[in-house]
Amino acid sequence: MASICQRVLVFGGGFRNDSSLGRFSRLLSNRRFLWLARALEAKIPEMKDRARARELAAEFNRKGDPTGWFEQLYHEGEAGKSTVPWANLCPNPHLLDFWESHSEPTAGKSALTIGSGLGDDAEQLASWGFRTTAFDISETAIRVSRKRFPDTKVKYLPANLLDPPSIWHRAFHFVFEANTLQVLPAALRPRAMQRIVGFLCPGGLLLVIARGREPSDPEGQMPWPLTRTELLAFTTAGLEELSFEDFLDLEDPAEPDVRRFRALYRFTT
Protein backbone atom coordinates (compact mmCIF):
# COMPACT_ATOMS: atom_id res chain seq x y z
CA MET A 1 0.00 0.00 0.00
CA ALA A 2 2.76 2.44 0.92
CA SER A 3 4.48 1.99 -2.42
CA ILE A 4 1.41 3.36 -4.19
CA CYS A 5 0.83 6.22 -1.77
CA GLN A 6 4.41 7.36 -2.11
CA ARG A 7 3.80 8.26 -5.78
CA VAL A 8 2.85 11.87 -5.05
CA LEU A 9 3.60 13.39 -8.46
CA VAL A 10 2.66 16.68 -10.05
CA PHE A 11 1.87 16.99 -13.76
CA GLY A 12 2.09 20.53 -15.08
CA GLY A 13 1.20 21.90 -11.65
CA GLY A 14 -2.47 21.04 -12.10
CA PHE A 15 -2.61 17.68 -10.35
CA ARG A 16 -1.73 17.92 -6.68
CA ASN A 17 -2.36 16.31 -3.33
CA ASP A 18 -5.17 17.99 -1.41
CA SER A 19 -5.64 15.53 1.47
CA SER A 20 -5.27 16.76 5.04
CA LEU A 21 -3.31 15.39 7.97
CA GLY A 22 -6.41 15.34 10.13
CA ARG A 23 -8.34 13.39 7.49
CA PHE A 24 -5.66 10.75 7.14
CA SER A 25 -4.74 10.42 10.80
CA ARG A 26 -8.41 10.06 11.75
CA LEU A 27 -9.28 7.51 9.09
CA LEU A 28 -5.99 5.63 8.98
CA SER A 29 -5.34 5.34 12.71
CA ASN A 30 -3.12 2.34 12.11
CA ARG A 31 0.43 3.52 12.93
CA ARG A 32 1.70 2.14 9.60
CA PHE A 33 0.00 5.02 7.80
CA LEU A 34 0.93 7.97 10.03
CA TRP A 35 4.15 8.59 8.11
CA LEU A 36 2.03 9.08 5.00
CA ALA A 37 -0.27 11.60 6.66
CA ARG A 38 2.68 13.64 7.88
CA ALA A 39 4.40 13.51 4.53
CA LEU A 40 1.31 14.71 2.72
CA GLU A 41 0.71 17.55 5.18
CA ALA A 42 3.74 19.40 3.83
CA LYS A 43 2.24 19.35 0.32
CA ILE A 44 -1.28 20.57 1.13
CA PRO A 45 -2.75 23.83 -0.18
CA GLU A 46 -5.19 25.65 2.06
CA MET A 47 -8.25 24.94 -0.07
CA LYS A 48 -9.22 23.06 -3.18
CA ASP A 49 -9.87 25.28 -6.17
CA ARG A 50 -13.13 24.13 -7.76
CA ALA A 51 -13.89 27.37 -9.56
CA ARG A 52 -12.70 26.28 -13.00
CA ALA A 53 -14.31 22.85 -12.74
CA ARG A 54 -17.63 24.48 -11.83
CA GLU A 55 -17.28 26.99 -14.65
CA LEU A 56 -16.65 24.25 -17.20
CA ALA A 57 -19.47 22.07 -15.87
CA ALA A 58 -21.92 24.95 -16.20
CA GLU A 59 -20.65 25.86 -19.67
CA PHE A 60 -20.93 22.35 -21.06
CA ASN A 61 -24.32 21.80 -19.41
CA ARG A 62 -25.59 24.88 -21.23
CA LYS A 63 -24.28 23.38 -24.46
CA GLY A 64 -26.21 20.17 -23.84
CA ASP A 65 -22.99 18.17 -23.30
CA PRO A 66 -23.01 17.52 -19.53
CA THR A 67 -20.01 15.17 -19.57
CA GLY A 68 -17.83 16.97 -22.10
CA TRP A 69 -16.12 19.18 -19.54
CA PHE A 70 -14.09 16.38 -17.92
CA GLU A 71 -11.68 16.08 -20.84
CA GLN A 72 -11.28 19.86 -21.02
CA LEU A 73 -10.47 20.05 -17.30
CA TYR A 74 -7.91 17.24 -17.42
CA HIS A 75 -6.33 18.77 -20.51
CA GLU A 76 -5.99 22.09 -18.73
CA GLY A 77 -4.74 20.35 -15.60
CA GLU A 78 -2.00 18.56 -17.48
CA ALA A 79 -0.91 21.90 -18.95
CA GLY A 80 -0.84 23.51 -15.51
CA LYS A 81 -3.65 25.92 -16.39
CA SER A 82 -6.31 24.50 -14.05
CA THR A 83 -6.64 22.34 -10.98
CA VAL A 84 -8.38 18.97 -11.06
CA PRO A 85 -9.77 19.16 -7.50
CA TRP A 86 -10.29 15.42 -7.01
CA ALA A 87 -6.86 14.41 -8.37
CA ASN A 88 -5.30 13.73 -4.96
CA LEU A 89 -2.59 11.45 -6.37
CA CYS A 90 -3.18 8.92 -3.61
CA PRO A 91 -5.84 6.22 -3.09
CA ASN A 92 -9.16 7.35 -1.66
CA PRO A 93 -8.75 7.18 2.14
CA HIS A 94 -12.32 5.89 2.50
CA LEU A 95 -11.44 2.97 0.24
CA LEU A 96 -8.35 2.21 2.33
CA ASP A 97 -10.29 2.52 5.55
CA PHE A 98 -13.05 0.27 4.22
CA TRP A 99 -10.66 -2.43 3.06
CA GLU A 100 -8.83 -2.41 6.40
CA SER A 101 -11.95 -3.85 8.04
CA HIS A 102 -13.77 -5.46 5.09
CA SER A 103 -11.07 -7.16 3.04
CA GLU A 104 -12.23 -9.86 0.65
CA PRO A 105 -10.42 -12.72 -1.12
CA THR A 106 -9.23 -11.40 -4.48
CA ALA A 107 -7.54 -14.33 -6.19
CA GLY A 108 -9.02 -14.82 -9.63
CA LYS A 109 -11.45 -11.93 -9.19
CA SER A 110 -11.95 -8.88 -11.39
CA ALA A 111 -12.48 -5.28 -10.29
CA LEU A 112 -13.64 -2.14 -12.07
CA THR A 113 -12.86 1.45 -11.11
CA ILE A 114 -15.41 3.97 -12.38
CA GLY A 115 -14.19 7.44 -13.32
CA SER A 116 -10.65 6.34 -12.52
CA GLY A 117 -9.05 9.77 -12.83
CA LEU A 118 -5.28 9.48 -12.55
CA GLY A 119 -5.32 5.85 -11.49
CA ASP A 120 -4.55 5.73 -7.77
CA ASP A 121 -7.65 3.78 -6.73
CA ALA A 122 -7.25 1.33 -9.60
CA GLU A 123 -3.61 0.72 -8.71
CA GLN A 124 -4.64 0.10 -5.12
CA LEU A 125 -7.21 -2.50 -6.14
CA ALA A 126 -4.61 -4.21 -8.32
CA SER A 127 -2.15 -4.26 -5.43
CA TRP A 128 -4.73 -6.16 -3.39
CA GLY A 129 -4.81 -8.84 -6.08
CA PHE A 130 -7.76 -7.92 -8.26
CA ARG A 131 -7.53 -8.22 -12.04
CA THR A 132 -8.38 -4.57 -12.47
CA THR A 133 -9.95 -2.54 -15.25
CA ALA A 134 -10.24 1.24 -14.92
CA PHE A 135 -12.01 3.71 -17.15
CA ASP A 136 -12.54 7.42 -17.43
CA ILE A 137 -14.38 9.52 -19.99
CA SER A 138 -11.27 11.70 -20.30
CA GLU A 139 -8.67 10.36 -22.69
CA THR A 140 -6.13 12.70 -21.09
CA ALA A 141 -6.78 11.13 -17.70
CA ILE A 142 -6.24 7.65 -19.14
CA ARG A 143 -3.06 8.68 -20.91
CA VAL A 144 -1.65 10.31 -17.78
CA SER A 145 -2.54 7.23 -15.71
CA ARG A 146 -0.57 5.00 -18.07
CA LYS A 147 2.31 7.45 -17.89
CA ARG A 148 2.29 7.55 -14.10
CA PHE A 149 2.25 3.77 -13.80
CA PRO A 150 4.28 2.43 -16.76
CA ASP A 151 4.55 -1.07 -15.25
CA THR A 152 0.91 -1.28 -14.26
CA LYS A 153 -1.17 -4.42 -14.35
CA VAL A 154 -4.33 -2.30 -14.61
CA LYS A 155 -6.15 -2.14 -17.93
CA TYR A 156 -6.86 1.58 -18.47
CA LEU A 157 -9.49 2.45 -21.05
CA PRO A 158 -11.37 5.59 -22.12
CA ALA A 159 -15.09 4.93 -21.81
CA ASN A 160 -18.38 6.65 -21.00
CA LEU A 161 -20.28 5.41 -17.94
CA LEU A 162 -23.55 6.25 -19.68
CA ASP A 163 -22.65 4.08 -22.69
CA PRO A 164 -20.11 1.48 -21.52
CA PRO A 165 -18.73 -1.45 -23.54
CA SER A 166 -21.22 -4.31 -23.64
CA ILE A 167 -18.47 -6.78 -22.75
CA TRP A 168 -18.46 -5.35 -19.23
CA HIS A 169 -22.02 -6.49 -18.54
CA ARG A 170 -22.02 -8.85 -15.50
CA ALA A 171 -18.21 -9.04 -15.73
CA PHE A 172 -16.87 -7.81 -12.37
CA HIS A 173 -16.65 -9.16 -8.84
CA PHE A 174 -15.91 -5.76 -7.27
CA VAL A 175 -16.92 -2.34 -8.58
CA PHE A 176 -15.70 0.90 -7.01
CA GLU A 177 -17.55 4.16 -7.56
CA ALA A 178 -16.33 7.27 -5.76
CA ASN A 179 -17.31 10.83 -6.58
CA THR A 180 -18.52 10.23 -10.15
CA LEU A 181 -22.25 10.33 -9.50
CA GLN A 182 -21.94 13.59 -7.58
CA VAL A 183 -20.47 15.43 -10.57
CA LEU A 184 -23.27 14.30 -12.90
CA PRO A 185 -26.48 16.32 -13.16
CA ALA A 186 -29.32 14.70 -11.21
CA ALA A 187 -31.17 13.82 -14.42
CA LEU A 188 -28.29 11.58 -15.55
CA ARG A 189 -27.76 9.72 -12.30
CA PRO A 190 -30.51 7.07 -12.65
CA ARG A 191 -29.10 5.96 -16.00
CA ALA A 192 -25.56 5.97 -14.62
CA MET A 193 -26.64 3.88 -11.63
CA GLN A 194 -28.34 1.34 -13.89
CA ARG A 195 -25.10 0.97 -15.84
CA ILE A 196 -23.15 0.50 -12.60
CA VAL A 197 -25.49 -2.28 -11.47
CA GLY A 198 -25.01 -3.96 -14.83
CA PHE A 199 -21.26 -4.29 -14.28
CA LEU A 200 -21.67 -6.73 -11.38
CA CYS A 201 -21.56 -10.48 -11.79
CA PRO A 202 -23.73 -12.62 -9.49
CA GLY A 203 -22.43 -12.21 -5.95
CA GLY A 204 -20.40 -9.16 -6.97
CA LEU A 205 -19.87 -6.24 -4.60
CA LEU A 206 -20.32 -2.53 -5.26
CA LEU A 207 -18.73 0.09 -2.99
CA VAL A 208 -20.09 3.62 -3.42
CA ILE A 209 -18.65 6.78 -1.84
CA ALA A 210 -20.38 10.12 -2.40
CA ARG A 211 -21.21 13.41 -0.79
CA GLY A 212 -24.55 13.26 1.01
CA ARG A 213 -27.41 15.59 1.88
CA GLU A 214 -31.01 15.59 3.05
CA PRO A 215 -33.73 15.95 0.37
CA SER A 216 -34.70 19.25 1.97
CA ASP A 217 -31.16 20.63 1.67
CA PRO A 218 -30.23 22.73 -1.35
CA GLU A 219 -28.21 20.96 -4.03
CA GLY A 220 -25.56 23.64 -3.85
CA GLN A 221 -22.72 23.80 -6.34
CA MET A 222 -20.96 20.98 -8.15
CA PRO A 223 -20.06 18.47 -6.73
CA TRP A 224 -23.76 17.93 -6.02
CA PRO A 225 -24.41 15.76 -2.94
CA LEU A 226 -26.68 12.75 -3.31
CA THR A 227 -29.65 11.91 -1.13
CA ARG A 228 -30.32 8.62 0.58
CA THR A 229 -33.40 8.28 -1.62
CA GLU A 230 -31.30 8.52 -4.78
CA LEU A 231 -29.10 5.67 -3.59
CA LEU A 232 -32.17 3.48 -3.17
CA ALA A 233 -32.06 3.14 -6.96
CA PHE A 234 -29.35 0.53 -6.43
CA THR A 235 -31.62 -1.70 -4.33
CA THR A 236 -34.54 -1.10 -6.68
CA ALA A 237 -32.32 -2.40 -9.49
CA GLY A 238 -31.72 -5.66 -7.65
CA LEU A 239 -28.81 -5.05 -5.30
CA GLU A 240 -28.80 -5.93 -1.62
CA GLU A 241 -27.54 -3.21 0.68
CA LEU A 242 -25.00 -4.75 3.06
CA SER A 243 -23.94 -1.59 4.88
CA PHE A 244 -24.57 2.14 4.86
CA GLU A 245 -22.51 4.81 6.61
CA ASP A 246 -23.31 8.50 6.98
CA PHE A 247 -20.39 10.51 8.37
CA LEU A 248 -18.58 13.84 8.35
CA ASP A 249 -15.28 14.15 6.55
CA LEU A 250 -12.71 16.93 6.94
CA GLU A 251 -11.87 17.55 3.29
CA ASP A 252 -10.53 21.10 3.41
CA PRO A 253 -9.16 22.60 6.64
CA ALA A 254 -10.63 25.98 5.68
CA GLU A 255 -14.13 24.62 4.97
CA PRO A 256 -16.81 22.91 7.08
CA ASP A 257 -16.77 19.12 7.28
CA VAL A 258 -18.31 17.38 4.28
CA ARG A 259 -21.17 14.95 4.82
CA ARG A 260 -20.39 11.72 3.05
CA PHE A 261 -22.15 8.41 2.35
CA ARG A 262 -20.36 5.09 2.01
CA ALA A 263 -22.48 2.11 1.01
CA LEU A 264 -21.76 -1.51 0.13
CA TYR A 265 -24.08 -3.54 -2.10
CA ARG A 266 -24.19 -7.09 -3.43
CA PHE A 267 -25.77 -8.38 -6.61
CA THR A 268 -27.80 -11.41 -5.61
CA THR A 269 -29.98 -12.19 -8.64
User: Across the 269 residues of the chain, what is the mean pLDDT of every consecutive 10-residue run?
Assistant: 36 45 39 38 51 95 96 95 91 96 96 98 98 98 98 98 98 98 96 98 98 95 96 97 95 78 95
Query: Do residues 170 and 200 touch, judged by C-beta distance below 8 A?
Result: yes
The SS3 of residue 206 is strand
Domain 93-267 is found in CATH 3.30.200.20? no
What's the pLDDT score for residue 9? 35
- Cα separation values, 246 from 24, 122, 156, 165, Å: 18, 24, 31, 32
Structure confidence by residue, pLDDT tens digits, 79-94: 999 989 999 899 999 9
Is the CA virtual torsion 220, 259, 18, 156 positive or negative?
negative
Query: Do residues 263 and 245 touch, judged by C-beta distance below 8 A?
Result: yes
What's the pLDDT score for residue 253? 67
In angstroms, the CA 228 to CA 261 distance is 8
Angle between helices 120-127 and 93-102 (to 10 degrees): 20
Give the helix/strand (H/E) hosting 24: helix 21-27
Structure confidence by residue, pLDDT tens digits, 152-178: 999 999 999 999 999 999 999 999 999
In angstroms, the CA 238 to CA 206 distance is 12
Q: Give domain limits for the chain.
A: 93-267
